């Protein structure tokens, strides 16, 4: 006996479209109708392929981290602590205020979601943020080129706070050029004039 009907849509393309909708509107601001319209599928197909809205968001979040947000993991491979910090902060500007991306950050928008329906989504986004900060702290503990008065845990928290602030400002309409100036000022304050 044959299985169910084969999918008549490309799951990767549908996920990319869902990513864009969630990124633009946030979790709570995105309806199932928004998702199905963007993805080009009906609700039963969405549920069958991706689960409910929360489960779809989890898949989208993973795709975001492996795609547009991968700059953060890549930055950890920079040869110096300074370069890691620079790549993270400049990468935040490029990601959240880029010409070809929605403004803001998918994770930051999810963390800011406030209703009870988004508690799990918020927890997932917070877990992603904490894991990123912990990875940055571990990398900075290995760095030998950072100012001696910078504690790796404090610097990691500060870099994440600056990146999140950049994302919020991008979502509020600040331009890429304005945010690049803010990023450069932040880097000078964190790392000194040699930046």
- Measured N-to-C along each axis, helices 11-25 and 43-50 cross at an angle, to the nearest 10 degrees, of 100
- Encode pLDDT of 19-64 as tens digits: 999 999 999 899 999 999 999 999 999 999 999 999 999 999 999 9
pLDDT band at 158 (very low <50, low <70, confident <90, very high): very high
Is a pLDDT exceeding 80 seen at residue 147? Answer: yes
Q: What is the pLDDT of residues 84-108, one digit of tens each?
A: 999 999 999 999 998 888 999 999 9
Measured between alpha carbons, how far is 24 from 3 in angstroms, rounded to an integer? Answer: 36
Rounded to whole angstroms, the Cα distance separating 108 from 126 reads: 9
Mean pLDDT of 73-93: 97
At residue 1, the pLDDT reads 42
Whether 125 and 61 have beta carbons less than 8 Å apart is answered as yes
Supply the pTM of this predicted model: 0.89
**185 burial class (0-12, 13-18, 19+ CB within 10 angstroms)?**
exposed
């Amino acid at each position: 006996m044959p299985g169910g009907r084969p999918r008549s849509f490309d799951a990767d393309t549908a996920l990319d479209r869902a990513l864009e909708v969630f990124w633009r509107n946030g979790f709570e601001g995105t309806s199932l109708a928004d998702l199905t319209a963007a993805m080009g599928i009906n609700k039963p197909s969405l549920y069958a392929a991706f689960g409910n809205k929360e489960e779809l968001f989890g898949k989208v979040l993973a795709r975001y981290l492996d795609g547009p947000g991968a700059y953060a993991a890549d930055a950890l491979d920079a040869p110096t602590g300074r370069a890691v910090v620079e790549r993270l902060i400049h990468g935040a500007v490029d990601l959240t205020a880029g010409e070809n991306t929605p403004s803001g950050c998918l994770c930051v928008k999810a963390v800011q979601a406030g209703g009870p329906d988004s508690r799990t989504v918020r927890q997932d986004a917070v877990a992603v943020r904490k894991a990123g900060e912990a990875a940055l702290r571990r990398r900075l503990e290995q760095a030998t080129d950072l100012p001696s008065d910078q504690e790796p845990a404090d610097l990691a928290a500060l870099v994440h706070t600056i990146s999140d602030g950049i994302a919020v400002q991008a979502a509020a309409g600040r331009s890429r050029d304005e945010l690049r100036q803010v990023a450069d000022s932040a880097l000078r304050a964190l790392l000194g004039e040699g930046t």
